[in-house]
A and B are shown apart, each in its own frame.
Chain A
Amino acid sequence: PLLALRVVNLLQERNLLPLGPVTPPTPCLPQDLQKINCHPEVFRSTLTSIPQTQSLLNKAKLPLGLLLHPFKDLSQLPVVTSSTIVRCRSCRTYINPFVTFLDQRRWKCNLCYRVNDVPEEFMYNPVSRSYGEPHKRPEVQNATLEFIAPSEYMLRPPQPAVYLIVLDVSHNAVETGYLDVVCQSLLENINALPGDSRTKIGFITFDSTIHFYNLQEGLSQPQMLIVSDIEDIFLPTPDSLLVNLNECKELVQDLLRSLPQMFGKTMETQCALGPALQAAFKLLSATGGRVSVFQTQLPSLGVGALKSREDPNQRASAKDIQHLSPATDFYKKLALDCSGQQVAVDLFLLSSQYCDLASLGCISRYSAGSVYYYPSYHQQHNPAGVECFQKDLKRYLTRKIGFEAVMRIRCSKGLSIHTFHGNFFVRSTDLLSLPNVNPDAGFAVQMSIEENLVDMQSVSFQAALLYTSSKGERRIRVHTMCLPVVNSLSDIFAGADVQAITCLLASMAVDRSVTASLSDARDAMTNASIDSLTSFRTSVLTIQQPGLLAPACLRLFPLYILALLKQKAFRTGTSTRLDDRVFAMCQLKYQPLAYVMLMIHPALYRVDDLTDEGALNVSERTIPQPRVQQLSVEKLSRDGAFLMDAGSVIYLWIGRNCNPNFLTQVLGLPNYAAVPLNMNMLPELDTAESQRTRVFVGWLREQRPFFPILHVIRDESPLKASFLQNMIEDRTESALSYYEFLLHIQQQVSK
């Protein structure tokens, strides 16, 4: 804590970034508790020391909230099969490592403080085969674990994995060539779709009419059924539109092979997305499942048709941005209906024109689906985009999935949760309905302190996710986190987690942009940094020094706020397409913390002089660890090459006088002039430098589930502008430089 409170004068110290990645602060708990505490990648709080009273929290001017990634792919997950799942009798909290055992037979809940009895079966520990030591059981030794749920946790028999693919086959869509990629990807991954022998699959294609495919076992080829009455959509046959994958695999493969050619010469330009979604809902409402919708233009026909709302002249507006909220509530209503029947809708938007993502995105937001966006997707003109789409599809089709899930987040008595962020529907006060849960979704909640937390050393939070696995098993994943309670402002500041605070503020700002206005949201973010630093200065600092003073744990806070203000989602004055902006907002709310931070503040490395010094040794590979640089063109040197990792995209910038060694050994090019404008791959050369660079890029890519495209940039590259836009610390025509921003803050703080 002392180190965290070390006072930093932001105006004077220039090198604020740590050498490697920013690490989350460790809660000040006794070591034996902290050892078993939930991993910060799964469960994180904005303040690792919880204030005792709401007034104290208000004084600190920092938001209090939790960020969770509950279904993250974990390498180690204890699974418990037990006839009794021990839960508190009043608040229904699952027994966890932070309960207290009063004696061998009674335990005290750490959330509501009620004393419960230890059931007889719990006294026996199957792992160590000993009796009378309930605190050694795996439920009490692991903060993250999974239960196999008995039948009381099921409203209905576990549903099978059901997948429905809905494809836009209008002329526009077929032009982009996406149909080939989707069919190819499905053919390759058809055996890797999560499920068991009950897995079902179905297909719907649509342009101005809706086409269904009869895939009944025994047919010699798939049969297409066209429904043209889109005003009153119905299912043409009661079954065999959704078929068992194992039994009808050949028919499905036949269909996938012939779909691209079937519509190769179509001249239909209209698009009836709304009726197609209604048909999909009808088809899936009996069982639940996942709908994957691929859309390439604005829906123009039938219910849910949208008009183009974007005014291209307003893209670079310095004032408010309009049309961030949905134009129609059709998609939200349909999403809520889907959610009620355990159907989730994932949206893939592959379009070069405006598609009103603000309205379309609702279909995924409330049904716990995900949105994928590929602007300017085209088979020939954008091969890098095609590769990205292919890799993302592979991950999407093969990743773990949970069905008909619900999640509840409980916290200790005195704390209450009031706002939720993420893709789901809030059913009753704190039950999140998630028809699908996937390992790439993040959630955030905001909390307030209802009653003063006096006499409490620590508080706990528990997230319980009840879901059906793709193999028909009902499981409960439980994460429990414990944090200390403090009653001094300096302790609160010492435990502040700057990355979590930034992410929560970003989610809050997205909500504010949609409900109020973008400028409101921007002001709110700036004020957040001003207020917290003012509070630090007035309440915690004993010696008043000149300059802008911040505690070491919050030294990156103004930098991150400036980064948010310059982010695609919130920036003004720079031309930003409305769909790009809305998608950035969706990603800020949906993605887990680690990827949001990369989106907001990319990591810049110098790569032309990679060495093995300080390298990581992971599974026999030596991964170089270059130092993270500040995002300023000052740091770019003409005789070097720099790699910027921005989460979903990686830029490799080559300086004009770049070391010729780097050009030949890593890029395989004779000189700078030979660097092509649209290079996306590092050639596999036999040199040590090439090896190191490729290993480093591969390591960056492995750490995330989506596939970032690599762009090699030189002076005349079209992407140079987007690369430079990430140079947050620099001044642009419409935004302040980092130093100017600090001065602005200092002015406000000193008032």
Chain B
Amino acid sequence: MDGLSLLNNPGECVSSTDQKEHPHCCRLYCGPPHHWARPTPAWPRCSPSPHPHTSQADLEEGRESGRDLQHYQSQAKQLCRKLNAQSPNRCTLEAGVMSFHYVLEHGVCYLALCEAVFPKRLVFGYLEDLQTEFHEQHGKKVSTVSRPYSFIEFDTYIQKTKKTYIDSRARRNLGSINTELQDVQRIMVANIEEVLQRGEALSALDTKASNLSSLSKKYRSDAKYLNTRSTYAKIAAGAVFFITLIVYVRFWWI
């Protein structure tokens, strides 16, 4: 075969009936929110004001419609804003058919969105992989970031890693996944709605309740005080009456 060495299968034609079904892709969205990791509020005078930004995002057009995608995107953005130093550093958030999973490490959040049935072991393996690689390559530069998407070149690594985790054949090879992920059962599972919305209401309720309790304590002590005061007043009044009676009897009968 002269000059045609490029054709592995000479004359290979792909017709529409042979087209393979694309494996259902897991949509992954990953980004470090910048602002919340810092102690607030002491900012040096000339630095840019903190703003939430994600430095890389990869969203594939899966089977879902664009509208759902936007909904998940906005949820992801809100979630990034809510996370702070007190949040658990590994968590799964259920959002109906899909789930968010995140890993928080060294001030960077790695967030993935996939179907709820997708094995958690794999997702967290993937996120850990990304976390170690990102920290190695760019960990030191996170604090010096000045513009959005500074680390967009990391996207190539994200794409490649994602492929290995999605591909079912490669999955079996990942049987040697880190043993520390065996405690995946202990990763907190919560509902995303609660975290985003009711979390707000709950804390308000909490403060109200404690407020109420302290106020009622105060009321109780005030009431006691008034009580004792009125008892003394009564005793004093009784004593005065008794003394008057004694004096009256003494002077009347003499």
Contact = CB atoms under 8 A, between A and B. Distances in A.
Interface in B1-46: 3-8, 11-16, 19, 22, 45-46
Contacts of A237: 14
Interface of A: 81-84, 121, 124, 126, 148, 150-151, 154, 157-158, 160, 196-198, 221-229, 232, 234, 236-238, 244, 247, 255, 258, 261-262, 264-265, 286, 472-474
Contacts of A234: 16, 19
Contacts of A232: 16
A198 B155 contact: yes
A468 to B, nearest CB: 10
Contacts, number: 90
Contact of A221 (B3, B6, B54, B147): B6
A124 B48 CA distance: 12
A208 to B, nearest CB: 13
B49 interface: yes
Contact of A150 (B4, B11, B147): B147
Interface residues of chain A: helix, strand, loop or mixed (majority): loop
Contacts of A225: 12, 14
Contacts of A121: 49
Given A157-B56, A157-B152, A126 B6 contact: no
In the A-B complex, the 9 residue pairs with the closest CB atoms: A83-B48, A151-B148, A236-B14, A472-B152, A197-B153, A151-B53, A261-B3, A83-B49, A157-B57
Contact of A223 (B6, B48, B155): B6
How many chain B residues sit at the interface, stated as a range, is 20 to 34
Contact of A83 (B19, B22, B51): B51
A226 B4 CA distance: 13
Given A197-B153, A227-B13, A148 B147 contact: yes
Given A227-B14, A238-B22, A258-B6, A154 B152 contact: no
25 contacts: A83-B49, A124-B46, A126-B46, A148-B146, A151-B51, A151-B54, A151-B149, A157-B56, A157-B57, A157-B149, A157-B152, A160-B155, A197-B156, A198-B155, A223-B7, A226-B14, A228-B15, A229-B15, A234-B19, A236-B19, A247-B156, A255-B6, A258-B5, A473-B149, A474-B149
A286 B8 contact: no
Nearest to B4: A262
B153 to A, nearest CB: 5
A221 B5 contact: yes
Contacts of B11: 226
B156 A150 contact: no
Nearest to A223: B8
A356 B54 CA distance: 47
A258 B5 CA distance: 9
Contact of A154 (B14, B16, B46, B148): B148
B61 interface: yes
A185 to B, nearest CB: 20
Nearest to B58: A157
A247 B12 CA distance: 26
Given A81-B48, A158-B149, A234-B16, 5 more contacts: A197-B153, A198-B156, A234-B19, A247-B156, A472-B149
